[in-house]
Structures are given as structure tokens and as C-alpha cells.
Amino acid sequence: MTRIRKPLALLSVALVAVIVMGVASLGVAAAKPRIAIVFATGGLGDKSFNDSAYEGMKRAEKELGIEFDKVEPQAVAEYENLLMRFAQTRKYDLIISIGFDQADALQVVSERFPDQKFAIVDTAVDAPNVASYVYKEAERGFVVGAIAGLMTTRTGDPRIVSDKQIVGVIGGMDIPLIRANVAGYIAGAKYVNPNVEVKYAYVGHWADPAKCKEMANAMLDEGVDVLWLAAGRSGLGGIKAAEERNRYAIGADSDQGYLAPNNILTNGMKLVDNTVYMAVEAVLKDEFKPGINMLGINEGALGYSKNLVPDDISAEVDKLAAKVASGELKVPEDIDQVEPWLKAQGK
């Protein structure tokens, strides 16, 4: 028995130390507005959605003088727990959920904390204390589709397959949100170029670059020379394929140009940073608006980046984008509607 006395003494000293440390650190008050953000499961470093949201938070920190806490969940199952942990502290002016797969969890947590303000980006949650920010997905598909449709005719460019006019798009999953992007892309490409053929496919996973690369290579084999990757982290594989084969790739969500400076033609920008910033600003100005907030080109939440786009093409596309922003062009959101829509436009 005497053998265990020493460890026990050691243990009690250590325990006391831990408890004292714990008590001492309680009761620290923060004066600045405090925001919490729960990222999507892709995590930071996705060079896309989460990174863009993080940029927006950092900008809000600098320009709006807020403080924020962030968390990167590993699995869908963690969302509810993490949102709950944030909400329970009752010290956040706003809790932001990034990504549509947090909808279930936010539904539960927002009901349990009716006085807490929440915002969710990229999907809608129907609750009186949740502001949902969703995008007119087809609009950005339309813009990059138009760029692709025009670019594929530039046969002088070594990255363009001269005898075919085929462009492609690979989506992350076969869901309405991504299908709207694809529909917009097809509409955009065919609107500016009736001779273009558009191929599309879905990876089925947001974080499977290897599979996406395989699919991209199959498309490039068929003569696709401009390929849009609307597939989250999976898209990195498709960009790599385009770089290796020296064709054009179009990035998604944030500017992915640095990944392949000679091959990223443009990016279908989802300006999540602006969105997150808007959500924070709304709360600070006491203009928090529960319900659905639709964001498109007009709101500065969608667009494209210049990268390698020739000046004459970007000038033409800017005109189209202005028409979309003003509501003159209503881009179809369903792939089946594209053909009738083109006919109605006289194309």
C-alpha cells in the first residue's frame, strides 16, 4: 500500500493546480461584438468556400472591429454539438453556419435558443431567428459559361483544341444547387455560341480530388478544352488534370488562379467573404433580417475573376452580366429548361 502514497500526493497537487487554473480563467469579459463561425466539413485550406468565409471574417475583424471564434468540424455529426456549445455561452451577437449541410443541426439549435441570432450561408433554414443567405447559382454559371463558350473558338491558343468546340463542367454532387450552376453554364455557353457542345458530370463527393481528376481526364480525352470545376475540394483534381494536359480550367468559389497560373481561365466566384461580411454588418447595424436573403451578381455576391480572360471577351461578358444583374436576362435554373429558354431568347 505504501507504494501508492507518493503518486497520490503528486496527483492531489496536480489536481489542485488544474482546478486553480480553471477558476482563475473564468470571468473574462469582452467588450467588442463577438461572432462565432462554424465552417463546413471541408475545413480551412480548401482554397475555396471555407477559406473565403474566413477572409470575410478577418475583414470584418479589421474593418468592423469585431472579435470572432471559429471551428472546423470533422464530420456532419458534429455540427449540432458545436452550434450548441457556441449558443450556450450566450455571448455571441451572431453565430454563422457555413454550408448547406448544417441546415438540420441549425434547425434544432435555433429552436432551442430563440433569442440567439444565427445566419446560414448557402441554404435556407426556416426559423424566426435565422437569416439565410442563398445564391442565384445559375447566374454565375451563366457568366463563366459565356466565357467558356467564347474561349473555345480561339483556336490560335495552344490550350484550345482546334477542331472541336466542346466545353465541360464537373459538379460536386447531383443536387439542385449544383444543377442550377450547370444549367446556367450550359445556357451561358450556348447563348454566346450556338455551335458549342457542353458536357457535364458529377463527382458525388466534395472532397475526392482523385475521382474528379479521373473524370476530368475522360472529358479532356473527348476534346473538352475549357472545364469548370464546381466541386469544392474535389475540383483541385480537375484543375491538376487541365494543367497537366495544358487545357483551360475554371475554378469555383474563390480565386484559384495561383493553383495553375497558365491554365485557370477564370473563376466562378461565390463571394462568400462579402456574404459573411454583409451578415456581420447587418447585425451590427441592427438590420438583422431573418428569412431568405437572395444574393446574385447585383448584390456583389456572385461574379467572375479576370485571370486569363482576353479583354474583348471580358468586355462582352460584362455586358451580359449587367443584363443579368438588372433582371433583363433571367437565367434558367434547371437543365431541362435551358433549350426552351434559348429558343425564347431567339438563339
Residues that bind other proteins (CB under 8 A): 1, 3-4, 7-8, 10-11, 14-15, 18-19, 21-22, 24-26, 36, 69-72, 74-78, 81-82, 84-86, 88-89, 100-101, 104, 112, 123, 173, 175-177, 204
First-to-last C-alpha distance (Å) of the chain: 92
Q: How many residues does the chain have?
A: 347
Query: Three-state DSSP class for 257?
Result: helix
Bridge partners for 34 per DSSP: 67
Nearer to other proteins, 149 or 209 (CB): 209
Count of alpha carbons within 13 angstroms of residue 287, beta-carbon side: 7
Q: Nine-digit cell at 298?
A: 447585383
Nearest residue to 335 via CA among 228, 134, 192, 188: 188
Nearer to other proteins, 39 or 191 (CB): 39
Question: In this structure, are residues 216 and 227 in contact, taking their beta carbons and an 8 Å threshold?
Answer: yes
Nearer to other proteins, 72 or 255 (CB): 72
Minimum distance from residue 4 beta carbon to other proteins (Å)? 5
Strand order in the sheet with 248-253: 197-202, 166-171, 224-230, 248-253, 264-270, 302-304
Minimum distance from residue 289 beta carbon to other proteins (Å)? 24
Nearer to other proteins, 91 or 319 (CB): 91
Residue with cell 434547425: 107
Residues 6+ apart with CB under 8 A from 249: 226, 227, 228, 229, 238, 239, 241, 242, 243, 260, 263, 264, 265
Minimum distance from residue 62 beta carbon to other proteins (Å)? 18
Q: Which helix (H) or strand (E) holds 67?
A: strand 67-71
Nearer to other proteins, 100 or 288 (CB): 100
Minimum distance from residue 17 beta carbon to other proteins (Å)? 9
Distance in angstroms (rounded) separating the CA atoms of residues 342 and 323: 15
Minimum distance from residue 168 beta carbon to other proteins (Å)? 22
Minimum distance from residue 85 beta carbon to other proteins (Å)? 6
Question: In this structure, are residues 97 and 72 in contact, taking their beta carbons and an 8 Å threshold?
Answer: no
Nearer to other proteins, 2 or 195 (CB): 2
Minimum distance from residue 107 beta carbon to other proteins (Å)? 11
Minimum distance from residue 321 beta carbon to other proteins (Å)? 27
Nearer to other proteins, 61 or 69 (CB): 69
Query: Three-state DSSP class for 106?
Result: helix
Nearer to other proteins, 92 or 341 (CB): 92
